[in-house]
Amino acid sequence: MASAGGREPSSYAGAVPTPETPDLDELLAAAHVVRLPMRVRFRGVTEREAVLLRGPGGWAEWCPFVEYADADAARWLAAAVEAGWGQLPAPVRDEVGVNATVPALPAAEVEGLLARVDARRTAKVKVAEAGQSLDDDVARVTEVRRVLGPAARIRVDANGAWSEQEALAALERLAPLGLEYAEQPCGTVEELAALRLALARRGVDVPVAADESIRRAQDPLRVARLEAADLVVVKVAPLGGVARALEIIERCGLPAVVSSALDTSVGLSLGVRLAAALPALEHDCGLGTATLLAADVVAEPLVPAGGVLTLARAEAARDAVDPAALAAYRPGPDRETWWRDRLTRAHSLL
């Protein structure tokens, strides 16, 4: 058996050994494919497909988005191997602040969505949705500010959809609403670096956060080298696991926000574990997305209480996968075959 992801052991302080990759037959035997309905369309998704894996160390989750290449899927699989077959870094805190997530809804639907969320001191608002305008974004963020009040922290996420000039124009309009930061406003690291300079020259006080430029990059440290961001958004699965994410954060030397990849409660529990292990945590994390799912693989989904998730609740959720849910949300044979074939390909790249 080989080390998961073909990586050298992590160099960050407090590193744990990189687990050996289980044989393919063991992974396939441990795999349960599910398709979960969502409450609202998010990131173009109305149903979230995932593979739950039962390893000797507990439940793990593998759910790379369907459009991702096999090389990306292999990093997600390395994270699942760490969770189910490896050892996780020790936590240094027992609770994590969590933001609410507001999809690209019409402004009139914002209040109803936020009424269902117990994480109202911070909100992340999706902007730059295809088919929508900047006026739609401004109206949505304005409504979030109205509902949550002047003390709430509001961040926006463009998923790299704006050009540098579009981002500059958009953030000039949105800045008066009081933004904590703008997440991945542009697609490339070079554009992010140029945008930071342009914002400073215009006197627009909106920090820039890098997300896709970290989690989908061959060299995630370019963001720090080019001074392209004020902070980084990290996700356990796309970076290859908790230990690997901690190493990248340490080497970037920037404040970090831990976020989810539209995970089930099992995947979210690993995000909480990463946030709990960070030496410093200055921002609320994007780990409240279980509220976007209309069904989950656990009887009691991992949703915030009072704006926080505790490590104890996260560990309990990870141990509480419901066999009835696995059976109820099992997709048809064609999708199950698709995921098992994909698992086979990803495993060959570890």
Q: Are 270 and 242 in contact (CB under 8 A)?
A: yes
Closest CA to 261 of 285, 241, 236: 236
The pLDDT of residue 271 is: 98
Given this model, what pLDDT does residue 1 score? 38
pLDDT digits (tens, 9 = 90+) for 207-249: 999 999 987 767 888 999 999 999 999 999 999 999 999 999 9
pLDDT score, position 34: 98
94 is in an annotated binding site: no
Question: pLDDT averaged over the chain?
Answer: 93
Domain ranges of the chain: 4-88+323-348, 95-318
Q: What is the mean pLDDT of residues 260-267?
A: 95
Q: Which two tokens stand for residue 301?
A: 């989904």
Query: What confidence score (pLDDT) does residue 131 get?
Result: 95
pLDDT at 14 over 60: no
The answer, yes or no, to whether residue 5 has pLDDT greater than 90, is: no
β 153-157/58-62 pair status: unpaired
Q: What are phi and psi of 92, to 5 degrees?
A: -120, 0
Give pLDDT, residue 125: 97
Tell me: pLDDT of 21 over 80: yes
Whether 9 has a pLDDT exceeding 80, the answer reads no
Tell me: is residue 211 an annotated ligand-binding position.
Answer: yes
Q: Which two tokens stand for residue 78?
A: 């390395």
* pLDDT band at 15; cut points 50, 70, 90: low
Active-site residue, selected from the candidate residues 48, 196, 235, 347: 235
Q: What percent of the chain has pLDDT over 70?
A: 95
pLDDT computed for residue 44 by the predictor: 80
Q: Which of 211-225, 250-264, 318-332 has the lowest mean pLDDT?
A: 211-225
- Segment 328-344 shows an average pLDDT of 98
Q: What pLDDT sits at residue 12?
A: 47
Q: Enumerate helices (H) and strands (E) in the chain, giving the number of each.
A: 14, 12
The pTM score is 0.90
- Residue in 32, 48, 75, 126 annotated catalytic: 126
Instruction: Beginning with the edge strand found earlier in the chain, give each strand of the sheet holding 122-126 in spatial order.
Output: 100-102, 122-126, 153-157, 179-183, 208-210, 231-234, 256-258
Q: Give the Cα separation of 188 and 209 in Å (integer).
A: 12
Region 291-306: mean pLDDT is: 94
Question: Could you confirm whether 126 is annotated as catalytic?
Answer: yes
pLDDT digits (tens, 9 = 90+) for 55-92: 999 999 999 999 999 999 999 999 999 999 999 999 99
DSSP state of 10: P
User: 181, 230 in Cβ contact below 8 A?
Assistant: yes
| CA distance linking residue 322 with residue 42, whole number of Å | 25
- Give the whole-number percent of the chain exceeding pLDDT 90: 87
Q: Write down the pLDDT at residue 18.
A: 79
* Residue 129, marked binder: no
| The pLDDT of residue 153 | 97
pLDDT for position 117: 85
CATH homologous superfamily, domain 4-88+323-348: Enolase-like, N-terminal domain (3.30.390.10)
| 6: its two tokens | 């073909």
| Annotation says 235 is catalytic | yes
On the question of pLDDT at 143 being above 50, the answer is yes
pLDDT at 287 over 90: yes
Looking at residue 216, its pLDDT comes to 74
CATH architecture observed for domain 95-318: Alpha-Beta Barrel (3.20)
State pLDDT tens for residues 157-194.
999 999 999 999 999 999 999 999 999 999 999 999 99
